[in-house]
Structure 1
Amino acid sequence: MSARPVALSATPESSLARTGVLLMLLGMLMFALNDVMGKWLVSTYSVGQVVFVRSIAALIVLAPFLWFSGPKKVMQVDRPFMQLARVAASTAEIFAFYFAVVYLPLADVMTYWLAAPIYVAAISPLVLKEPVGWRRWSAIIVGFIGVVIALEPSSQALTPQAIISILGSMTFALMLLLGRSLRGTPDTTLVFWQIVGAGLAGAGSLYFDWKPVSPRDLVLLGVLGVVAMLAHMLVNRALKMADAATVAPLQYTLLFWAIVFGWLVFGDVPRLPMLIGSGFIVASGLFIFFREQQLKRQGRIKEEPVEAIVTGSGDPV
């Protein structure tokens, strides 16, 4: 008898939180599927060609939102040099991601990219003058140890592609830092110029390496951009429906999907050092996140929007 009143007395907030969790999980699954399609396509077509067509598809999806918010607002860019730096970092990160997944398993690349929030926490005191206490510094060190374990510096796993992957994740961290300094810029504006920058870079490479696209792959290239935009919409909606502390940690399910799809689709068996290193990285990232949430509640650091941890393939936002 006692179970029925409990079920019936569920608050609207708890219902919204459950919906937010489901949306976040679905968004992460869509990002993972997007990464799989990206890895599949760059095995046949150049990175620039994939990025170009993907950007066109993403712009088509974004067009109604641009029209609704007003095209003039998109063109009115505050702090243009900072915006340009963010677009450059985002474009470099996208190309690095696609280049990395050509040669490395998805799980390896995702492990390196998940270290980006750790780099942000380490650089924030220098760039944004944000204080970092000994607890977060300890977590940062643990995260760096995880990166070293995953890289296996003394083995053949330390390849130029792995190094490019690490550099790409650092560029992603730089993009996140620049995004923090552009908090006043509407999301639509950030997204639009980010897609335009990637599309222009992709277009610039078409002259050197363009291959005829089969009808099937043309559909996949279009879906690549559409799925990425839809995934971001799901993530953004999840962050609005539920507390960040509830849904943001679910972004680490990307690693689970990367392992599963890498194994099922590409036959990539996860390396033990990668699994151990990813455990260090995820634990470090989660500690840093929850510690920052605690400090925000105490008013010791500034409140700011939570940014999704997404890969280059899943990122036009």
Structure 2
Amino acid sequence: MSSLATERTNIPSRALEGILCVEAGMVFFVIQDVLMKSLLNTHPVWNLIFVRSVVTLVLLMPVMLWLGPPHRIFTPLWPLHFARAVLLAAGFSLFYAAFPFMGLAEVTTIFFSAPLMTALLAAVFLRETIGWHRIAALIIGFIGVVIAMNPVGDSFTWVAILPLLCALTYAISQIIARKIGEGESSLTAGLQTISFMGLLILPLGWLTNQVITIGPEFQHLRMTWPTALARDWLDLMLLGFVGMLGWILLSRAYQVANASLVAPFDYTYLPIAAGVAYFMWSEIPPSNTLVGMALIILSGLYVGFREIRAARRHDEPTVMAEAAFVPGGPMLPNIPDDENLL
């Protein structure tokens, strides 16, 4: 085991600070998605992701330059970050494309199948051991996904497949993140991924509009630059700011507290999002979404619990399958190296 890993296992856990950071981060991520859902009424998804990337870069780069090593602006691992950016740009375009047609709780519940997919992909491609306990948990979790989507119900629409595809791209990006491992700090990974996403998203939007005929119901996917841009500049700046702040808080939580303690609090995003959506838009999740949400959360927590036990048996730093699985979060599933992140 490397000396860096040894040092990390000896970092004292500040439980309360870690929990508070996770909870604050979840609130900021919900605010980010509420802003995104509201702005999609007047702005194409491509422009919103682009502006969010630009704002995050403007705010994050000075912080990294001030902190210095190990947070680096340029990295030889950029091809892996580029691959993650391609996946995340495509995936979250699909994720946000579903917002006008589905409730926030419904979209995010389906997205939270990503931890389950990551555990499955890690077993197939990284040859990580997966016993029958975790197999049973994954089956239950995917049953929850099917229940939440309700493909045989009258209310089912093919749009529900979009957040599921986003979950798949996110899971694949996390497999790449595991390949990167400790070779990068979370700030460097975030900067690289966000930078490439900003460069990719507008060409992706243009290409989509050339290949697919965009109907009036998908106005938010048309490649236009609306005149409302100047009017909504404050909301656009806020979109980038709250997303970056939520991500930094989540990184901080995994830095100061044990992953086994803080990881379950990631799932509080779902009830927070459901509550905010109810008060803002009077959205009431259907019963199948609530049942699916419960099964996905229980399955994800159990998979994470089994990974913690496996990591401790081998005296290795814990890598959580469900760590940092929040919409729009580009961080690596590891602990940042710098103790002065905030």
Q: TM-score, normalised by structure 2?
A: 0.82
Aligned position for 2:270: 255
CA–CA distance in structure 2, aligned partners of residues 213 and 30 of structure 1: 24
Cross-structure match for 1:131 = 129
1:114-135, Cα deviation, whole Å (9 max, x unpaired): 1111011111121111110000
Residue number in structure 1 paired with 2:201: 202
Conserved? CA contact 2:46–2:223, under 8 Å: no
2:85 to 84, 87, 90: 87
Q: CA deviation at 1:200?
A: 1.8
Indicate if the aligned counterparts of 1:130 and 1:301 stay in contact, CA closer than 8 A.
no
Give percent identity, aligned residues only.
Answer: 33
Residue 8 of structure 2: aligned partner = none
- 1:33 matched to 2:31? The reply is yes
Cα distance change, pair 300–117 in 1 and its aligned pair in 2 (3 A): farther
| 1:38 Cα offset (Å) | 0.8
Distance 2:326 2:278 in 1: 20
Aligned residues: 301
User: Where in structure 1 do 4 or more consecutive aligned residues deviate above 6 Å?
Assistant: none
Q: In the alignment, residue 20 of structure 2 is paired with which amino acid?
A: L
Shift of 1:84: 2.4
- Counterpart for residue 272 of structure 1: 287
For the 8 Å contact 1:107–1:258, the answer to whether it is kept is yes
Question: Given residue 164 of structure 1, which amino acid in structure 2 is its aligned partner?
Answer: L
Structure 2 residue 139 is the aligned partner of structure 1 residue 141: yes
Counterpart position of 1:297: 312
Aligned positions of 1:154-173 closer than 5 A: 154-173=152-171
Question: Residues of 2 paired with 1:45 and 1:287: CA distance?
Answer: 39
1:27/1:234 contact within 8 Å kept: yes
Q: Whole-Å Cα distance in 2 between the matches of residues 121 and 213 of structure 1?
A: 42
Whether contact under 8 Å (2:28, 2:242) holds in the other structure is yes
Q: 1:214, CA displacement in angstroms? A: 5.0
Q: Which runs of 5+ in 2 are unaligned?
A: 1-11, 207-221, 332-342
The equivalences for 1:1-317 within 5 A come to 16-68=14-66, 69=68, 73-78=72-77, 80-183=78-181, 184-204=183-203, 205=205, 208-213=223-228, 215=230, 217-299=232-314, 303-304=318-319, 307-312=323-328, 315-317=329-331
AA matched with 1:124:
A
Query: Retained in 2: the 8 A contact 1:45–1:211?
Result: yes
8 Å Cα contact 2:103/2:283 also seen in 1: yes
Give the letter for the 1:199 counterpart.
Answer: G
Instruction: Return the alpha-carbon distance in structure 1 between the equivalents of residues 301 and 71 of structure 2.
Output: 39
* CA–CA distance in structure 1, aligned partners of residues 270 and 118 of structure 2: 19
Say if 2:99 and 2:107, in contact at 8 Å, map to a contact too.
yes
Whole-angstrom CA distance in 2 between matches of 1:71 and 1:292: 27
Change (3 A) 1:133 1:71: closer
Distance 1:226 1:37, change over 3 A: same
CA RMSD of aligned residues (A): 2.2
**1:223: how far off?**
0.8
Whichever residue aligns with residue 56 of structure 2, its letter is A
8 Å CA contact 2:189, 2:330 repeated in 1: no
Cα deviation, residue 96, structure 1: 1.5
Return the alpha-carbon distance in structure 1 between the equivalents of residues 316 and 138 of structure 2. Answer: 18
**Structure 1 residue 301: deviation in Å?**
7.1
Tell me the CA shift for residue 72 of structure 1. Answer: 10
For the residues of structure 1 that align with 2:71 and 2:30, how far apart are their CA atoms? 34
Runs of at least 5 residues in structure 1 that lack an aligned partner in the other structure: 1-12
Question: Which residue matches 1:6?
Answer: none
